[in-house]
Amino acid sequence: MKELIETIVKPLVDFPEDVQVNVLEEDHRVTYQLSVNKNDMGKVIGKQGRVANAIRTVVYAAGSSQQKKIFLEISE
C-alpha cells in the first residue's frame, strides 16, 4: 500500500526524492501519512482538493479488500 501511494505521487511532483509515507497502525485503522516537499503541496492537493480526492479514491479502492479502515493524511 505504501508503495502504491509512492507510485501515484512521485510522477506528480517536482521533488520525488522528498516524498515520504509513514504508516501508523492501530487496532481498527491504518493511517498513511504522506509528506511531500513544501513546493509540491499544491500539486498533491489540487484545486479544491481534486488531486487529493483522486489519490484517496484510488488508495481506498486498493485497500477495500483489507479488514482495517484506511486513512490518508497529507502534510508538508
- Contact segment (CB under 8 A) with other proteins among 20-28, 33-41, 43-51, 67-75 equals 43-51
| Binding flag, residue 67, other proteins (CB under 8 A) | no
Cα–Cα distances (Å) from 18 to 21, 34, 38, 40, in that order, read 10, 10, 9, 9
Contact of 71 with 29, CB cutoff 8 Å: yes
| Binding flag, residue 21, other proteins (CB under 8 A) | no
Which residues make up the interface to other proteins (CB under 8 A)? 3-4, 7-8, 11-12, 48, 50-51, 53-55, 57-58, 61-62, 65
